[in-house]
A and B are shown apart, each in its own frame.
Chain A
């Protein structure tokens, strides 16, 4: 069912492949799913891929009665490769939908390419502000979030706590600055310092020494991937864990928790979803994922699972007539499917209006030595709208 045709390269093979290229009609729904599958970030892509495969299993391999074919593409974490893979999906595989994409810069290269070609794009992670605002498109939907919303929720939480002297750390690149901007949009208290570290930095001891010298009331960080693992271990090793409460976004998740373990205990994150979110769709997704792959899924996976379900809802609404794009867009705008986050709705810019929760890393079911799990503490935002939708000129 999940097929990935071999790409051919030599002149002779090129010609034969052209002749042999099968002509697919509306007898299959073709989805091109692009994510990062190689390199260190391949771990995120794997979680997304497994969730897509689980979604297809739950759908019985069909959407609206039509067999589904998903073609996976590896963007190698590079925008230009992502664009090439997208072109391949559109022009070679002639897919009906493109989905996936982890990184904002890859998304900014891929999404306009896909929508300009007249194909629908369902993003399942990156939500750069351009796509929520002036670059919004009726062919673009996302099942995730706008980048700023998650730090806005954390800013709101710290604002509600009435904290002052918060110490901010993020890598020195566009997303890092966006995250701190989002945080400061809601947090109005005093900021002890705003520190930008090197992208991909391994050692944070120098920053931690500076931090201790400032003696802040709380620390807020955005350090995704390996940077977060390193920071949390070093934070805990430096003995700061008990001293300054640590709040973060996109730093602790189900992918990094097994590597950080007890160094993450007590960590606060904000997020729109958590494995312990109590609804039927989520229980089914998390339960079956755990059964099939032996571990908890991450939010990357949940969004990708939702992406497939959203496409399914659209295909069913037009009764398999994939030519009826207007009909599919109208169906998707209703978000009429069982999302893992529970019921939500779409804003004018096709970004979700949804809840954001405060999560805490607590000891896992196996006790102190076990991998910690994220647990929902409370909802920070109910039906939150992103901060850019007013810039989107789309009319429904």
Chain B
């Protein structure tokens, strides 16, 4: 029984981890390549979730809704980049933080104006709403398994794009030496816009998949944003590999902490003390982890090259 529970919690941690990874991938690319701190990344997650609900309702098909939402988030990302963020690449990180925080407020209110402040209804597609018996006594929701699979596929795809394609080569080159890439006649501005839109679409995908299990409401992006920053900082900024590792570590630590910290503490100290300290410590665990990682490795676990 305990082994089954442990496997189930591992799957839960993995599922949380890949959701974080989808968010972290875009954020870390934008940071690593454009040297840009984008707090508004959480807003793209929210936009994705809202567009998916709206488009699913409009088309009546879940799949069409998801595709439209992805395209829509990509467009919103591209427009945001062209209108507001493009001029910020050369600026101080502080200016970027201030401007993108402004964008968070802007998008949250915009969503509230269009769809209202109440949480929207969004449901699982019929085909994915069941359970699957992985091994005896371990039934796991199909939808959550699908999230794990999609997340891992995206990781694989990203690895392929970055290491094996011309676009990936440009991305890597742009990260380490932007003047050189421009000198070679590459349109660096277009490259940046593509990367940003791509990152926004990935955040949108995370939002689309989160919609049916979480509450679709204004401000939903900020709840996850801080955790995503923790992920990319632990993993090492600018590194896709680091983002994946960081996401899985944070997902696992957080899930396992919530599940097993209190009983584990109870065995060490008195059960009443564990009752009080367990939940508090579980909430702090990922921040504690980040502080320890940074104290030992100030550049994160997998620092990107060229920095």
Q: How far is the CA of A221 from the CA of B9 in the complex (A)?
A: 21
Contact A40 B219 (CB under 8 A): yes
Interface size class of A (residues with CB under 8 A): 35 or more
How far apart are the CA atoms of A213 and B260 in the complex, in Å?
A: 13
A259–B9 touching, CB < 8 Å: no
Closest beta carbon of chain A to B98's beta carbon, Å: 20
Once bound together, how far apart are the Cα atoms of A198 and B284, in whole Å?
10
Minimal Cβ-Cβ distance residue in A for B283:
A198
Q: What is the CB-to-nearest-CB distance from B118 to chain A, in angstroms, rounded to a whole number?
A: 5
Chain A residues within an 8 Å CB radius of B8 = 209
Judge if B5 is at the interface, Cβ distance under 8 Å: yes
Q: Which residue of A lies closest to B216 (CB)?
A: A259
How far, in whole Å, are A259 and B210 apart by their CA atoms in the complex? 14
Report the separation of the CA atoms of residues A200 and B222 in the bound assembly, to the nearest whole angstrom.
11
Q: Name the interface residues of B86-140: CB closer than 8 Å to any CB of A.
A: 108, 112, 116-121, 123-124, 129, 131, 139
Query: Which one, A197, A233, A259, contacts B118 given CB within 8 A?
Result: A259
Assess the B213–A233 pair: CB atoms within 8 A. yes
Contact A202 B121 (CB under 8 A): no
CB <8 Å contact, A210 and B5 = yes
Q: Which of A172, A237, A260 contacts B141 (CB 8 A)?
A: A237
Q: Is A353 an interface residue (CB 8 A)?
A: no
Complex formed: what's the CA distance from A200 to B217 in Å? 13
Q: Are A40 and B144 in contact (CB under 8 A)?
A: no
Q: Are B12 and A206 in contact (CB under 8 A)?
A: yes
With A198-B279, A205-B15 in contact, do A39 and B219 touch (Cβ < 8 Å)? yes
A236-276, CB under 8 A of B: which get 1 and which 0?
Answer: 01110000000000000001101111100000000000000
Contacting residues of chain B (15-54) with chain A, CB-CB under 8 angstroms: 15-16
Q: Which residues from chain A contact B123 at a C-beta distance below 8 Å? A: 261-262
Shortest distance between the CB of B165 and any CB in chain A (Å): 34
Is B198 an interface residue, CB under 8 A from the partner?
no
B1 in contact with A226 (CB, 8 Å): no
A216 to B197: give the CA distance in the assembly, Å. 47
Say whether B64 faces chain A, with CB atoms less than 8 Å apart.
Answer: no
B296 interface residue, CB < 8 Å from A? no
B153 contacts A by Cβ under 8 Å: no
- A233 near B212 with CB under 8 A, answer yes
Q: Is the CB of A42 within 8 A of B117?
A: yes
User: Which 4 residue pairs spanning A and B have beta carbons closest together?
Assistant: A259-B119, A196-B279, A229-B215, A172-B279
| B-to-A contact residues, CB < 8 Å | 1, 5, 8-9, 12-13, 15-16, 108, 112, 116-121, 123-124, 129, 131, 139, 141, 143-144, 210, 212-220, 223-224, 255, 258-259, 275, 278-280, 282-283
14 cross-chain CB contacts under 8 A: A39-B108, A40-B217, A40-B218, A205-B12, A205-B144, A206-B12, A207-B258, A209-B8, A210-B5, A213-B1, A226-B119, A233-B215, A259-B119, A261-B121
